[in-house]
Structure 1
Amino acid sequence: MPTPDFIRAVRATAGQQLLFLPGVSAIVFDDARRVLLVRRADTGRWSIIGGIVEPGEQPARTAVREVYEETAVRCVPERLVLVQTLEPVRYPNGDLCQFVDTSFRCRATGGEARVNDDESLEVGWFPVDGLPDLEDFAVSRIKQALGDGPAWFDPMTGV
């Protein structure tokens, strides 16, 4: 994903030190219960859709925006799937980030799935029992989104 301008501004003074950032993931289903995936340009791997929350933006709006920007699919968030702090990531340029991911199950409402920006190589709908090779991150969110249970979060056991 391209670096948002507000992060470039912070990096100008903070350098490559750890930035703690809000992120979202969108698990989008169509009426046939297929899940919308993108093959990322940066890694070449299939993944769910995600992005960084802009200052002043609500996470659910970020999910809707990211889905449209990356795939040209319109969607509405249906429920919160999980909230999780991820492991820090060091990017090839040396920048260090750690994301708090808020994941939403979304329902597609329109648009034709296609590559809609330079972040993706391919876009496609996949049946849940026919997913391509995905990171555990994506698989766990898809599984969680399929249910109607409460949102997942670390229950802080043993604290």
Structure 2
Amino acid sequence: MAVPPYVRTLRAHIGHDLLLLPGVSAVVRDGDGRILLLRRGDNGRWSLPAGMVDPGEQPADAIVREIYEETGVVAEVDRVAGAATHPVEYPNGDRCEYLNVWFRCRAVGGAPRADGDESLAVGWFAPGDLPDLDEWAKLRIETAGSDDPQAWYAPAGEPAPRALTDPGAL
């Protein structure tokens, strides 16, 4: 997976140590209500489109860019669905804590295709027929599908559920 130059420069100084990074992800639905998923190039798991916000980039612009780059689908943002931090350790040992903002989006064009790097496969899935997903993806799908216009967040003083805060549980 491509590492942005900004992060590559930071990693040159700190190695695999923890980085706090801004991230975005999206629950993209088509006209039939299906959810767009991709099989990740780094770990082979099915996931929602996601990525990092580049310096100077707004989160909504970042997720529209990431969706297209990873899946070939053109999407528009409907609303912010939630925000939370979550830990990730990559296969190469890099540790990150992402402050992730996720969005509810709708597909408006393009055609699903894998990029061969960040995505190995791309597909539309009915909500009742989803492949195995981690707890973060399940939370994002649930909150993005809610009719509540307020974005989800872990209330102050209350951690996210254990499965979401314990990296070993993912």
TM-score above 0.5: yes
What do residues 83-117 of structure 1 show as CA deviations (whole Å, max 9, x unaligned)?
00113x23233322110110000010001111134
The aligned residue for residue 50 of structure 1 is 50
Contact 2:53 2:62 in 1 (8 A): yes
Contact 1:69 1:117 in 2 (8 A): no
What's the RMSD between the two structures over aligned residues? 1.3
Cα distance between partner residues in 2 of 1:154 and 1:76: 26
When the two structures are superposed, what TM-score results if normalisation uses the length of structure 2? 0.88
Name the count of aligned residue pairs.
157
Contact 2:42 2:91 in 1 (8 A): no
- The 3-state SS of whatever aligns with 1:133 is coil
Residue range with higher mean Cα deviation, 56-65 or 149-158: 149-158
Cα distance between partner residues in 1 of 2:12 and 2:137: 32
Query: Could you tell me the percent identity over the aligned residues?
Result: 50
Alignment partner of 1:140 is 2:139: yes
Q: After TM superposition, what 4+ stretches of structure 1 lie above 4 angstroms from structure 2?
A: none
The aligned residue for residue 4 of structure 2 is 4
Distance 1:148 1:84, change over 3 A: same
Q: Please, which runs of 5 or more residues in structure 2 have no aligned partner?
A: 159-170
- The 3-state SS of whatever aligns with 2:136 is helix
- The 3-state SS of whatever aligns with 1:92 is coil
Q: Please, which runs of 5 or more residues in structure 1 have no aligned partner?
A: none
Cα distance between partner residues in 2 of 1:90 and 1:45: 14
What is the Cα deviation at residue 15 of structure 1? Answer: 2.5
The aligned residue for residue 71 of structure 2 is 71
The aligned residue for residue 102 of structure 1 is 101
Contact 1:27 1:36 in 2 (8 A): yes
Distance 1:57 1:117, change over 3 A: farther
Amino acid across the alignment from 1:119:
E
Cα distance between partner residues in 2 of 1:130 and 1:92: 28
Cα distance between partner residues in 1 of 2:71 and 2:92: 27
Cα distance between partner residues in 2 of 1:91 and 1:147: 31
When the two structures are superposed, what TM-score results if normalisation uses the length of structure 1? 0.93
Q: Residues 24-43 of structure 1: matches in 2 within 5 Å?
A: 24-43=24-43
What is the Cα deviation at residue 143 of structure 1? Answer: 1.1
